Amino acid sequence: MPVGEQGPRTAEQQVRFEVAMDKTLRAVTGILGTDYESRAVGGGGTNGKWVFTSLDQLDTLIKKWTGVRDAIRRRRDEILDARSLVYPPASDVMSRLQAEALKSSLDAMEKHADSMFRYADAYVKKLEETRTAYTATESGNTGRMNNTC
């Protein structure tokens, strides 16, 4: 990037923007009665590219997203556990209908949590691949610099 030219926003700002866009598009398509498949599965900034200025910045982002992914996994497991505990309190029709309605709600929650988990997991994998590539590039650059001195 030429000196003086402003680069893209920070990776965290780019991630927040993508998440906000995804939520907005999901809400709009939900109102229209259609399903929305995220275009940003696994993340990516403008044209699918982020700019990282250091391994520390990348490591911080990996740690943060790993925490997000793990929290989503725990919540998804709690939803599944809760669903397994749902029984009608009595054998009448209304009790059975209420239990089934709760199970349907929990199924929808689990589906959403699973979708979020897959997104976060794919994103962590992408960040880890980026870190590996970044390290290899830096190592190669360091080697070339040492050979020119």
Quick: pLDDT tens for 108-138: 999 999 999 999 999 999 999 988 988 887 7
List Cβ neighbours of 15 (8 Å cut-off, separation of 6 or more).
43, 61
User: What would the two tokens of residue 39 be?
Assistant: 């275009």
Torsion region of 47: left, alpha or beta (phi above 0 gives left; psi -120 to 50 gives alpha): left
Please check the confidence at residue 3 and state whether its pLDDT lies above 50: no
> Which tens digit of pLDDT belongs to each residue from 39-84?
544 445 445 556 677 888 889 999 999 999 999 999 999 999 999 9
Beta-carbon count within 10 A of 135 CB: 12
Angstrom distance (rounded) from CA 57 to CA 8: 14
For 17, the token pair is 């923007």
Q: Can you tell me whether residue 4 is helix, strand or coil?
A: coil
